[in-house]
Structure 1
Amino acid sequence: MSAADVEIEDRVWNEVVTLFGRVEHRLAKALQRGHGIGLSEFRALCRLAHSGEGELRMQELADLIGLNQSSVSRLVARLESAGLTRRDMCPKDRRGVYTIITEEGRALQERAAPTYRQELADALDDAAADPCLGSLVTGLRGMFAVH
Protein backbone atom coordinates (compact mmCIF):
# COMPACT_ATOMS: atom_id res chain seq x y z
CA MET A 1 0.00 0.00 0.00
CA SER A 2 1.35 3.39 -0.90
CA ALA A 3 1.86 6.25 1.52
CA ALA A 4 -0.97 8.14 -0.22
CA ASP A 5 -3.32 5.18 0.30
CA VAL A 6 -2.41 5.00 3.97
CA GLU A 7 -3.03 8.73 4.32
CA ILE A 8 -6.46 8.41 2.69
CA GLU A 9 -7.38 5.46 4.93
CA ASP A 10 -6.27 7.42 7.98
CA ARG A 11 -8.32 10.46 6.96
CA VAL A 12 -11.43 8.38 6.23
CA TRP A 13 -11.09 6.46 9.50
CA ASN A 14 -10.78 9.73 11.43
CA GLU A 15 -13.96 10.98 9.73
CA VAL A 16 -15.76 7.75 10.67
CA VAL A 17 -14.66 8.11 14.29
CA THR A 18 -15.77 11.76 14.37
CA LEU A 19 -19.15 10.94 12.81
CA PHE A 20 -19.66 8.01 15.17
CA GLY A 21 -18.84 10.11 18.22
CA ARG A 22 -21.19 12.92 17.24
CA VAL A 23 -24.07 10.60 16.44
CA GLU A 24 -23.60 8.47 19.56
CA HIS A 25 -23.53 11.57 21.75
CA ARG A 26 -26.78 12.90 20.28
CA LEU A 27 -28.52 9.55 20.50
CA ALA A 28 -27.47 9.02 24.10
CA LYS A 29 -28.55 12.52 25.11
CA ALA A 30 -31.95 12.22 23.39
CA LEU A 31 -32.71 8.80 24.88
CA GLN A 32 -31.69 9.87 28.36
CA ARG A 33 -33.63 13.13 28.18
CA GLY A 34 -36.72 11.68 26.55
CA HIS A 35 -36.95 8.24 28.10
CA GLY A 36 -34.53 8.02 31.02
CA ILE A 37 -32.53 5.26 29.36
CA GLY A 38 -28.95 5.03 28.16
CA LEU A 39 -27.92 4.15 24.64
CA SER A 40 -26.50 0.74 25.62
CA GLU A 41 -29.69 -0.08 27.51
CA PHE A 42 -31.78 0.90 24.50
CA ARG A 43 -29.67 -1.22 22.17
CA ALA A 44 -29.93 -4.19 24.52
CA LEU A 45 -33.72 -3.83 24.66
CA CYS A 46 -33.85 -3.61 20.85
CA ARG A 47 -31.81 -6.79 20.45
CA LEU A 48 -33.96 -8.60 22.98
CA ALA A 49 -37.23 -7.32 21.53
CA HIS A 50 -36.24 -8.49 18.05
CA SER A 51 -34.89 -11.87 19.08
CA GLY A 52 -37.14 -14.86 18.51
CA GLU A 53 -38.40 -15.37 22.06
CA GLY A 54 -37.37 -12.02 23.54
CA GLU A 55 -34.35 -13.65 25.14
CA LEU A 56 -30.64 -13.98 24.48
CA ARG A 57 -27.74 -15.65 26.21
CA MET A 58 -25.67 -13.06 28.03
CA GLN A 59 -22.61 -13.67 25.82
CA GLU A 60 -24.71 -13.37 22.66
CA LEU A 61 -26.13 -10.05 23.86
CA ALA A 62 -22.63 -8.84 24.68
CA ASP A 63 -21.45 -9.70 21.16
CA LEU A 64 -24.47 -8.06 19.51
CA ILE A 65 -24.07 -4.73 21.28
CA GLY A 66 -20.28 -4.65 21.41
CA LEU A 67 -19.69 -5.03 25.15
CA ASN A 68 -17.45 -7.34 27.11
CA GLN A 69 -18.89 -9.88 29.53
CA SER A 70 -18.50 -7.79 32.69
CA SER A 71 -20.00 -4.69 31.03
CA VAL A 72 -23.02 -6.61 29.77
CA SER A 73 -23.51 -8.11 33.25
CA ARG A 74 -23.65 -4.63 34.77
CA LEU A 75 -25.95 -3.46 31.96
CA VAL A 76 -28.35 -6.35 32.50
CA ALA A 77 -28.29 -5.75 36.25
CA ARG A 78 -29.43 -2.15 35.62
CA LEU A 79 -32.15 -3.34 33.25
CA GLU A 80 -33.32 -5.92 35.80
CA SER A 81 -33.39 -3.34 38.60
CA ALA A 82 -35.63 -1.18 36.43
CA GLY A 83 -37.93 -4.12 35.69
CA LEU A 84 -37.07 -4.10 31.98
CA THR A 85 -35.51 -7.58 31.84
CA ARG A 86 -35.14 -10.67 33.96
CA ARG A 87 -32.57 -13.47 34.00
CA ASP A 88 -33.13 -17.18 33.66
CA MET A 89 -30.95 -20.26 33.44
CA CYS A 90 -30.68 -22.17 30.20
CA PRO A 91 -32.75 -25.36 30.64
CA LYS A 92 -30.33 -27.42 28.52
CA ASP A 93 -27.11 -26.01 29.97
CA ARG A 94 -27.38 -24.83 33.57
CA ARG A 95 -24.19 -22.79 33.10
CA GLY A 96 -25.87 -20.64 30.45
CA VAL A 97 -27.69 -17.51 31.59
CA TYR A 98 -30.33 -15.80 29.52
CA THR A 99 -31.69 -12.30 29.81
CA ILE A 100 -35.33 -11.93 28.86
CA ILE A 101 -37.16 -8.72 28.03
CA THR A 102 -40.25 -7.98 30.12
CA GLU A 103 -43.45 -6.36 28.87
CA GLU A 104 -42.30 -3.14 30.55
CA GLY A 105 -39.01 -3.42 28.64
CA ARG A 106 -40.84 -3.94 25.36
CA ALA A 107 -43.06 -0.96 26.01
CA LEU A 108 -40.09 1.30 26.77
CA GLN A 109 -38.21 0.09 23.69
CA GLU A 110 -41.27 0.80 21.53
CA ARG A 111 -41.71 4.30 23.02
CA ALA A 112 -38.02 5.15 22.62
CA ALA A 113 -37.56 3.77 19.08
CA PRO A 114 -39.12 6.77 17.28
CA THR A 115 -36.89 9.12 19.30
CA TYR A 116 -33.84 7.06 18.34
CA ARG A 117 -34.76 6.98 14.64
CA GLN A 118 -35.55 10.69 14.46
CA GLU A 119 -32.41 11.71 16.33
CA LEU A 120 -30.30 9.44 14.12
CA ALA A 121 -31.76 11.01 10.98
CA ASP A 122 -31.27 14.52 12.36
CA ALA A 123 -27.69 13.81 13.43
CA LEU A 124 -26.85 12.42 10.00
CA ASP A 125 -28.53 15.37 8.28
CA ASP A 126 -26.45 17.76 10.38
CA ALA A 127 -23.29 15.80 9.63
CA ALA A 128 -24.11 15.78 5.91
CA ALA A 129 -24.08 19.59 6.00
CA ASP A 130 -20.60 19.58 7.58
CA PRO A 131 -17.93 20.04 4.88
CA CYS A 132 -15.64 17.60 6.68
CA LEU A 133 -18.23 14.82 6.99
CA GLY A 134 -20.69 15.41 4.18
CA SER A 135 -19.12 13.07 1.64
CA LEU A 136 -18.85 10.30 4.24
CA VAL A 137 -22.54 10.58 5.16
CA THR A 138 -23.53 10.72 1.49
CA GLY A 139 -21.46 7.62 0.81
CA LEU A 140 -22.92 5.72 3.77
CA ARG A 141 -26.46 6.66 2.86
CA GLY A 142 -25.82 5.62 -0.72
CA MET A 143 -24.54 2.23 0.41
CA PHE A 144 -27.70 1.61 2.36
CA ALA A 145 -30.05 3.54 0.05
CA VAL A 146 -31.21 5.76 2.93
CA HIS A 147 -32.31 9.23 1.90
Structure 2
Amino acid sequence: MTETKVSAGTGETSADVREWRQLLARHADLTCALDRELQSGHGLGMSEYEVLERLAELPNQSAKVQQIAGSVHLSQSALSRVIGRLESAGLVERNMCPEDRRAVSVCMTDKGLHRQTEARPTHQRVLAERLHAPLTKTCDPTD
Protein backbone atom coordinates (compact mmCIF):
# COMPACT_ATOMS: atom_id res chain seq x y z
CA MET A 1 0.00 0.00 0.00
CA THR A 2 1.41 3.42 -0.93
CA GLU A 3 1.24 6.29 1.46
CA THR A 4 0.07 9.75 0.41
CA LYS A 5 1.71 12.65 2.19
CA VAL A 6 -0.56 15.52 3.10
CA SER A 7 1.16 18.87 3.47
CA ALA A 8 -1.05 20.82 5.82
CA GLY A 9 -0.60 24.53 6.22
CA THR A 10 1.38 25.09 3.01
CA GLY A 11 -1.15 27.54 1.63
CA GLU A 12 -1.09 25.70 -1.68
CA THR A 13 -4.28 24.69 -3.44
CA SER A 14 -4.19 22.52 -6.53
CA ALA A 15 -5.66 23.74 -9.81
CA ASP A 16 -8.28 20.98 -9.64
CA VAL A 17 -9.43 22.11 -6.21
CA ARG A 18 -9.58 25.74 -7.34
CA GLU A 19 -11.61 24.75 -10.42
CA TRP A 20 -13.94 22.61 -8.26
CA ARG A 21 -14.50 25.52 -5.90
CA GLN A 22 -15.28 27.84 -8.83
CA LEU A 23 -17.80 25.33 -10.13
CA LEU A 24 -19.45 25.10 -6.70
CA ALA A 25 -19.56 28.89 -6.40
CA ARG A 26 -21.16 29.27 -9.85
CA HIS A 27 -23.71 26.56 -9.04
CA ALA A 28 -24.58 28.23 -5.72
CA ASP A 29 -24.89 31.60 -7.44
CA LEU A 30 -27.18 30.26 -10.17
CA THR A 31 -29.30 28.21 -7.77
CA CYS A 32 -29.83 31.13 -5.43
CA ALA A 33 -30.62 33.57 -8.23
CA LEU A 34 -33.07 31.16 -9.88
CA ASP A 35 -34.78 30.39 -6.57
CA ARG A 36 -35.13 34.06 -5.74
CA GLU A 37 -36.41 35.17 -9.17
CA LEU A 38 -38.74 32.21 -9.75
CA GLN A 39 -40.18 32.46 -6.23
CA SER A 40 -40.78 36.19 -6.31
CA GLY A 41 -42.14 36.27 -9.85
CA HIS A 42 -43.99 32.98 -10.13
CA GLY A 43 -44.32 31.32 -6.72
CA LEU A 44 -42.01 28.47 -7.76
CA GLY A 45 -38.75 27.21 -6.34
CA MET A 46 -36.01 26.17 -8.72
CA SER A 47 -36.65 22.45 -8.18
CA GLU A 48 -40.37 22.92 -8.73
CA TYR A 49 -39.69 24.75 -11.98
CA GLU A 50 -37.28 22.02 -13.10
CA VAL A 51 -39.94 19.32 -12.60
CA LEU A 52 -42.52 21.37 -14.49
CA GLU A 53 -40.03 22.06 -17.29
CA ARG A 54 -39.20 18.35 -17.69
CA LEU A 55 -42.91 17.50 -17.84
CA ALA A 56 -43.60 20.34 -20.31
CA GLU A 57 -40.97 18.91 -22.68
CA LEU A 58 -42.82 15.59 -22.96
CA PRO A 59 -45.54 15.09 -25.59
CA ASN A 60 -48.27 14.27 -23.04
CA GLN A 61 -46.73 16.25 -20.14
CA SER A 62 -46.66 13.06 -18.07
CA ALA A 63 -43.94 10.76 -16.74
CA LYS A 64 -43.22 8.14 -14.11
CA VAL A 65 -41.64 9.52 -10.96
CA GLN A 66 -38.50 7.42 -11.59
CA GLN A 67 -38.15 8.99 -15.05
CA ILE A 68 -38.33 12.49 -13.54
CA ALA A 69 -35.86 11.58 -10.79
CA GLY A 70 -33.25 10.66 -13.38
CA SER A 71 -33.37 14.08 -14.98
CA VAL A 72 -33.71 16.56 -12.09
CA HIS A 73 -30.88 15.32 -9.84
CA LEU A 74 -32.97 15.11 -6.66
CA SER A 75 -33.17 12.27 -4.18
CA GLN A 76 -36.36 10.23 -4.26
CA SER A 77 -37.57 11.82 -1.01
CA ALA A 78 -36.75 15.38 -2.13
CA LEU A 79 -38.52 14.78 -5.43
CA SER A 80 -41.54 13.40 -3.59
CA ARG A 81 -41.73 16.60 -1.50
CA VAL A 82 -41.43 18.78 -4.62
CA ILE A 83 -44.17 16.82 -6.37
CA GLY A 84 -46.31 17.09 -3.24
CA ARG A 85 -45.98 20.89 -3.25
CA LEU A 86 -46.79 21.03 -6.97
CA GLU A 87 -49.80 18.78 -6.44
CA SER A 88 -51.06 20.92 -3.51
CA ALA A 89 -50.82 23.98 -5.77
CA GLY A 90 -52.83 22.21 -8.48
CA LEU A 91 -49.92 22.21 -10.93
CA VAL A 92 -49.57 18.42 -11.27
CA GLU A 93 -51.60 15.31 -10.52
CA ARG A 94 -50.28 11.97 -9.31
CA ASN A 95 -51.84 8.74 -10.58
CA MET A 96 -51.12 5.04 -10.47
CA CYS A 97 -49.41 4.06 -13.69
CA PRO A 98 -51.83 1.92 -15.76
CA GLU A 99 -49.01 -0.24 -17.24
CA ASP A 100 -47.25 -0.82 -13.92
CA ARG A 101 -49.39 -0.72 -10.77
CA ARG A 102 -46.27 -0.28 -8.62
CA ALA A 103 -45.28 2.95 -10.36
CA VAL A 104 -46.70 6.43 -9.93
CA SER A 105 -47.01 8.82 -12.83
CA VAL A 106 -47.09 12.59 -12.60
CA CYS A 107 -49.12 14.59 -15.09
CA MET A 108 -48.93 18.35 -15.46
CA THR A 109 -52.27 20.16 -15.26
CA ASP A 110 -53.29 23.02 -17.54
CA LYS A 111 -52.57 25.35 -14.61
CA GLY A 112 -49.07 23.83 -14.29
CA LEU A 113 -48.36 24.25 -17.98
CA HIS A 114 -49.53 27.85 -17.82
CA ARG A 115 -47.31 28.59 -14.78
CA GLN A 116 -44.27 26.95 -16.38
CA THR A 117 -44.85 28.86 -19.62
CA GLU A 118 -45.07 32.15 -17.70
CA ALA A 119 -41.91 31.35 -15.71
CA ARG A 120 -39.81 30.23 -18.70
CA PRO A 121 -38.63 33.75 -19.70
CA THR A 122 -37.52 34.44 -16.11
CA HIS A 123 -35.61 31.15 -16.01
CA GLN A 124 -33.95 31.86 -19.36
CA ARG A 125 -33.08 35.45 -18.41
CA VAL A 126 -31.40 34.44 -15.14
CA LEU A 127 -29.42 31.71 -16.87
CA ALA A 128 -28.29 34.11 -19.61
CA GLU A 129 -27.29 36.77 -17.07
CA ARG A 130 -25.45 34.45 -14.71
CA LEU A 131 -23.87 31.93 -17.07
CA HIS A 132 -22.24 34.52 -19.31
CA ALA A 133 -21.10 36.96 -16.66
CA PRO A 134 -18.00 36.73 -14.51
CA LEU A 135 -18.70 35.49 -11.00
CA THR A 136 -18.19 38.40 -8.67
CA LYS A 137 -19.78 37.09 -5.48
CA THR A 138 -22.10 34.32 -4.59
CA CYS A 139 -25.76 35.08 -4.26
CA ASP A 140 -27.11 35.96 -0.85
CA PRO A 141 -30.63 34.48 -0.46
CA THR A 142 -31.62 37.50 1.63
CA ASP A 143 -30.81 39.97 -1.18
Q: How would you bin the TM-score normalised by the shorter chain?
A: 0.7 to 0.9
Aligned residue runs from structure 1 range 12-91, under 5 A = 12-91=19-98
TM-score (norm 1): 0.80
Instruction: Give the whole-Å Cα distance in 1 for the aligned partners of 2:22 and 2:102.
Output: 42
Once the two structures are superposed, residues 27-53 of structure 1 have per-residue CA deviations (whole angstroms, 9 ceiling, x without a partner) of: 110000111111000000000010232
Q: Counterpart of 1:99?
A: 106
Larger relative contact order (CA 8 Å, sep ≥ 6): 2
Q: Secondary structure at the match of 2:14?
A: helix
State how many pairs are aligned.
Answer: 125
Instruction: Give the whole-Å Cα distance in 1 for the aligned partners of 2:28 and 2:96.
Output: 36
Computing the radius of gyration over CA atoms, which structure comes out larger, 1 or 2? 2
Q: How much identity, in percent, do the aligned residues show?
A: 37
Q: Secondary structure at the match of 2:130?
A: helix
TM-score (norm 2): 0.82
Aligned residue runs from structure 1 range 68-147, under 5 A = 68-126=75-133, 128=134, 130=136
Which runs of 5 or more structure 1 residues have no equivalent in the other structure? 1-5, 133-147
The list of structure 1 runs, each at least 4 consecutive aligned residues, that deviate by more than 6 angstroms after superposition, is none
